[in-house]
Chains A and B, each alone.
Chain A
Amino acid sequence: MTTTATQPAPPGGPGAPPPPEEGRGGIAGLLELPGQAVRAVTKSAATTPGRLTVIAVGLVLLSLLAGLVATLSVQGRKDTINGLIEHREPLAAAAQQVYRALSDADATAASAFLSPGTEPPELRKRYERDIAEAGAALAKAASDSADVAEAAAQVDVLSQRLPVYTGLVETARANNRQGYPAGASYLREASELMRAKLLPAAQELYRVDTTRLADEQDDATGFPWLATLLVLALLAALIVTQVHLTRRTNRLLNVGLVVATVCVAVSLLWGAVALVMQGVLVGNGKDDGSHQVDALVRARITALQGRADETLTLVARGDGGGYEKDFTGLALQLVGQDGRSGLLGEARDLAQGGDAAGDVEKASQAAADWLKAHKEVRRHDDAGEYSDAVKLAIEQKRPDGAALAFQHLDDKLQDAINVGRQAFLDGTRGGDRALTLLAPGVAILAVVAAAGATMGIRERLREYR
C-alpha cells in the first residue's frame, strides 16, 4: 500500500526552510498571516508586491508539498520492494515448501511401503525430511498469517492435521513390519487425510501467499500519479512565474527561480529514470522470477501427486483403480494431450531464452520417460505381475524405472525453481538499488527549490520598497 505516501502533509513540515530572520515588509506580513490568510491574500493580491507575495507563498508551499509527496512515495516504494524481498517472497516460498513437502511425503511414504522387507533407509530419510521441512515451513507461514483470515484458516487445518497424518503413517509402518495387510489400509487412510484435508489447505495457503506477492509486485511497479502531477505542476508554476516576471520587469533571468527550476527538473529526470529502471527490474523479477516459479511449482506438485497415485495404486494391491484414474488426470495436466503442453509446456514457454530453459527442457524429457515407465508399470500390474510392477515403480537405480525418471523430473524442476527465485531476487534487489538516494535527494532538491523561489521573489520584492 502506498496511500500513506500521498497524504498531504501540513506545509512547513520536515525540511521546510527556516523563515528568513530579517524578514520585513511583505515577508514579515507573510509571517503574521496564518490567522487571516484568506482575507489578507485577497486584499494584498490587488497590489503587485502583494501578488508577488502570494506567488512566493504558493511556490514555496507547492515545492514543499511536491517534495514531501514524492519523497514519501519513493520511500514507500522502497519499503514495498524490501518487503517483497524480506517477507512476501520468502513467505510464498514457505507456503510452496509446505505444499511440496507434504506432497512428497505422501509419495515417499507409499514408495517406502512398497519395498519388500525393511524400507530403504534413503526413502525413510526423505520422508522424515519432508515432515521436518513441512513443519518448519508451516511455522514460517504461520508467523505472518495472523492478519490474513483466509491464510490463518489454512494454517490451522495444517497444524491440527499434520500430527494426525504422521501418526497414521507410523501405525501403517508398525502393521507392515509385522506383515499385517492392515498397514496398507492405514497408509491409504493417511493418504486420504493428506489429499482430502492437508493438500487442499496447503494449496490454498500457497495461492493466498502467491497472490499477495503478485499484488505487491504490482504495487511496486505502479505509476506514482500524485507525486508526478505535483512535480509537473510545480515545474509549470515556476516557468509561468518566470515568464510573468520577465514580462513585468524586462529582466531575463532570476537566479533564485532558475535554481528552483533546475532543482525540480533534476528531481523529475532523476525520478523518471530511477523509477523506469526500478519498474523494469522489479517487472523482470516477476516475469523471469516469481511468475515462472509459480508455473514450475504447480508442475512439480502435480508431478508429485501423480507419483503418489502411481505408488498407491500398487499399495492398494489390485484395488487401486481410483488412484490410477487420478494419475491419468494429473498426467494430462502435467504434459497435456500432446505430451508437450500442459503445466510443463507453460513453464517451458515462460522459461524460453532464460537461464532455466535448459532445466525445464530436461524436466520435460524426464516427464516423458516417467510416463513411459508408468505405462510399463501398469502393464505388469494389470497382467498380475505385481512384483515386477513394484520393482519397476520403486527401484531407484533402474535406468528404465519410474523412480529414477521421476527423481530426475523433480530435481530438474527444483533446479529451475531455484533459478527463478534467484532471478526474482536479482531483479527486485536491482529495483531497490535503482531507488538508492532518490528519496533523500528529492527531499533536498525540494527544499532547495523552495529556498530558491523565496530568494528569487524576495529579490523582486526589494525593488518595491
Chain B
Amino acid sequence: MSKRRFVRSGVLLAAVAVLATACGSAGKPVDPAPVSDAAWPQPAHVAGGESGAGGSSDTSCNPLASLAPTGGTAIPAGSTMAKIRERGKLIAGVDQTTYLFGSRNPTTGNLEGFDIDMVNKIADAIFGGHEGKVQFRAITSSQREDVLIGHDVDIVVRTYSITCERKKKVNFSSVYYVAGQRILVPKEKKVSTLADLSGKRVCAAKKSTPLTKITTDPAKVVPVSVDNWSDCLVMLQQGQVEAVSTDDTILAGMAEQDPALAVVGDRFTTENYGVGIPKDAEDMVRFVNAVLEDVRKSAWQASYQKWVGVPLGPASPPNPQYQ
C-alpha cells in the first residue's frame, strides 16, 4: 500500500515538473535576418541649401536692348556670316541635357529641342538649309562665356539668360524666349506657391539661381541640392522630395517625362533667353536678330507647340527691344 502511494506521488511530482517547464515562457521566435534600414539610394552628392549664386542683380544696363537688324538677312562679303558660309559649317554651343530645349534623343543619337530649332533657323538663313551644315558642340552652362570668348563657337543657344554681367563679356541677340522659376509637383498635390511647400523638401541643382531663391525665400522650404537637374526628377519620382523648383523650361521637360507631374503656379522670376554671340561679331548679332524677326512670325509658335506647348500652356513670342 505504502509502495503504491509512493509510486503515485512520484508520478504526480513528475507531472507537476513537466507542466511547470512546459508552461514557462518559450521566449520570442528569433528574427533570422534583422534589417535595420532599407534606405533609399540617392543620387551622388546630395546636399542642402546654398545662397551663393546671385541672380541678375546687376541693373547697370538694359540687358534686353540688342543691336537692331539693320541689314536684314543679307550676307555682305567679308562679314562673319560670309566666313561661316565659306567654312561650310555653323558651330553652335548647345545643351544636351535639358529635355525639350536641347537634349540627345537616345534612339537616334541626335540633338533636338526648342534651342536646337533656333540654331537650325540661323543655319537656314546662312546656307539656305541646315542639314549637315551645323556642328553642334555640347557644352555645360559654365562653359558658355568661355567658348564665345575663345571663338570656339559662332553662337551659343543654350537656355542662356541675358544679364548685364554677361553682356560685358559677350553679345546677346534679342530675347527669343522668356522663362521663369516655377514649381513642379505631383498632379494631385494642391500647391501653387513656395509658401504651400513650407517645411517640405524642395530640390534644385547646385550653384543655380533657383537654389539660392528657394534657400533664401521666406516660405522656409527645406532645400535639397543635387549635381544635375534631372537628379531632381529622380528624387521627386522616388518620393525623396516634395517638389522641384527652377525655370519652367526645365520643369516642362521633366513634366513631359512623367505624366503624373505638373508645372504649377506663376513665374516668380524672369529669365530672358538670348542667343550668345562673340563680343566682336556685331554684324552677326544684327543678322541673328533679323533671323529671329522672321522666326517670331510663325516658326516660333510651331516650335513652341512642338516642344513645350503641352506642359506649359499657350504663349506668344516675346517682343524684341533694340538700342
- Residues of chain A touching chain B, judged by Cβ–Cβ distance below 8 Å, are 116-117, 156, 160-161, 164-165, 168, 175-186, 188-190, 192-193, 196-197, 316-319, 322, 383-387, 390
Give the one of A164, A179, A188 with max B CB within 10 A: A179
A64 to chain B, nearest CB (A): 46
Q: A317-B96, A386-B96 are in contact. Are A181 and B35 (CB under 8 A)?
A: no
Return chain B residues, CB-CB under 8 Å to A190: 41
Q: B303 contacts the other chain (Cβ, under 8 Å)? A: no
Known: A181-B97, A384-B139. 12 other contacts (CB 8 A): A117-B106, A181-B104, A185-B234, A188-B231, A192-B41, A192-B44, A196-B44, A317-B104, A318-B140, A319-B97, A384-B135, A387-B109
Contact check, B106 vs A179: say whether CB atoms are below 8 A apart: yes
- Report Cα–Cα, A168/B107, bound state, in Å: 20
- Report Cα–Cα, A186/B231, bound state, in Å: 8
Point out the residue from A178, A181, A319 that lies within 8 Å of B103, measured CB to CB: A181
- Report Cα–Cα, A160/B231, bound state, in Å: 23
20 A–B contacts from the bound complex (CB under 8 Å):
A117-B106, A160-B35, A176-B106, A178-B257, A179-B105, A181-B99, A181-B103, A181-B104, A182-B233, A182-B237, A182-B254, A182-B258, A184-B97, A189-B41, A189-B234, A317-B97, A318-B96, A383-B137, A384-B139, A385-B137
Contact check, B44 vs A116: say whether CB atoms are below 8 A apart: no
Task: Tell me how many residue pairs across A and B have CB atoms closer than 8 Å.
Answer: 95
Return chain A residues, CB-CB under 8 Å to B234: 182, 185-186, 189
Contact pattern, B 251-266, Cβ under 8 Å of A = 1, otherwise 0: 0011001100000000
Contact check, A175 vs B257: say whether CB atoms are below 8 A apart: yes
- Report Cα–Cα, A116/B254, bound state, in Å: 21
Return chain B residues, CB-CB under 8 Å to A196: 44
Q: B230 contacts the other chain (Cβ, under 8 Å)? A: yes
Return chain B residues, CB-CB under 8 Å to A178: 257
Contact check, B44 vs A180: say whether CB atoms are below 8 A apart: no
Interface residues on B, range: 35 or more
Point out the residue from B42, B135, B230 that lies within 8 Å of A192, measured CB to CB: B42
Contact pattern, B 238-273, Cβ under 8 Å of A = 1, otherwise 0: 000000000000000110011000000000000000
Give the one of B135, B137, B253 with max A CB within 10 A: B137
Contact check, B108 vs A180: say whether CB atoms are below 8 A apart: no
Q: Which of B80-103 contact A (CB under 8 A)?
A: 93, 96-99, 103
Contact pattern, B 213-236, Cβ under 8 Å of A = 1, otherwise 0: 000000000000001101101100
Q: B307 contacts the other chain (Cβ, under 8 Å)? A: no
Q: Which of B105-156 contact A (CB under 8 A)?
A: 105-109, 135-140
Point out the residue from A161, A183, A188, A384 that lies within 8 Å of B137, measured CB to CB: A384
Q: A192-B41, A192-B42, A322-B44 are in contact. Are A182 and B106 (CB under 8 A)?
A: no
Contact check, A184 vs B137: say whether CB atoms are below 8 A apart: no
Return chain A residues, CB-CB under 8 Å to B237: 182
Return chain A residues, CB-CB under 8 Å to B43: 185, 188-189, 192
Q: A186-B234, A384-B93 are in contact. Are A168 and B41 (CB under 8 A)?
A: yes
Return chain A residues, CB-CB under 8 Å to B42: 189, 192
- Report Cα–Cα, A432/B137, bound state, in Å: 65
Minimal Cβ-Cβ distance residue in B for A191: B44
Minimal Cβ-Cβ distance residue in B for A391: B109
- Residues of chain B touching chain A, judged by Cβ–Cβ distance below 8 Å, are 33, 35, 38, 41-44, 93, 96-99, 103-109, 135-140, 227-228, 230-231, 233-234, 237, 253-254, 257-258
- Report Cα–Cα, A319/B139, bound state, in Å: 9
Minimal Cβ-Cβ distance residue in B for A190: B41
Point out the residue from B104, B108, B258 that lies within 8 Å of A386, measured CB to CB: B104
Contact check, B140 vs A319: say whether CB atoms are below 8 A apart: yes
Return chain B residues, CB-CB under 8 Å to A179: 105-107
Minimal Cβ-Cβ distance residue in B for A192: B44
Point out the residue from A180, A197, A384 that lies within 8 Å of B138, measured CB to CB: A384
Contact check, A319 vs B137: say whether CB atoms are below 8 A apart: no
A49 to chain B, nearest CB (A): 60
Return chain B residues, CB-CB under 8 Å to A164: 41
Minimal Cβ-Cβ distance residue in B for A189: B43
- Report Cα–Cα, A387/B104, bound state, in Å: 10
- Report Cα–Cα, A311/B41, bound state, in Å: 21
Minimal Cβ-Cβ distance residue in A for B147: A384
- Report Cα–Cα, A156/B33, bound state, in Å: 9
B5 to chain A, nearest CB (A): 46
Lowest 9 A-B CB distances belong to which pairs? Answer: A384-B137, A116-B109, A185-B230, A193-B41, A180-B257, A192-B44, A185-B234, A318-B138, A189-B43
Contact check, B109 vs A184: say whether CB atoms are below 8 A apart: no
- Report Cα–Cα, A169/B139, bound state, in Å: 26
- Report Cα–Cα, A435/B177, bound state, in Å: 85
Return chain A residues, CB-CB under 8 Å to B230: 181-182, 184-185
Q: A383-B137, A386-B96 are in contact. Are A319 and B227 (CB under 8 A)?
A: yes
A236 to chain B, nearest CB (A): 57
Return chain A residues, CB-CB under 8 Å to B109: 116-117, 387, 390
- Report Cα–Cα, A182/B228, bound state, in Å: 10
Give the one of A175, A182, A319 with max B CB within 10 A: A182
- Report Cα–Cα, A316/B233, bound state, in Å: 15
Minimal Cβ-Cβ distance residue in A for B35: A160
B307 to chain A, nearest CB (A): 13
A464 to chain B, nearest CB (A): 63
Minimal Cβ-Cβ distance residue in A for B34: A156
- Report Cα–Cα, A165/B40, bound state, in Å: 11
Contact check, A185 vs B231: say whether CB atoms are below 8 A apart: yes
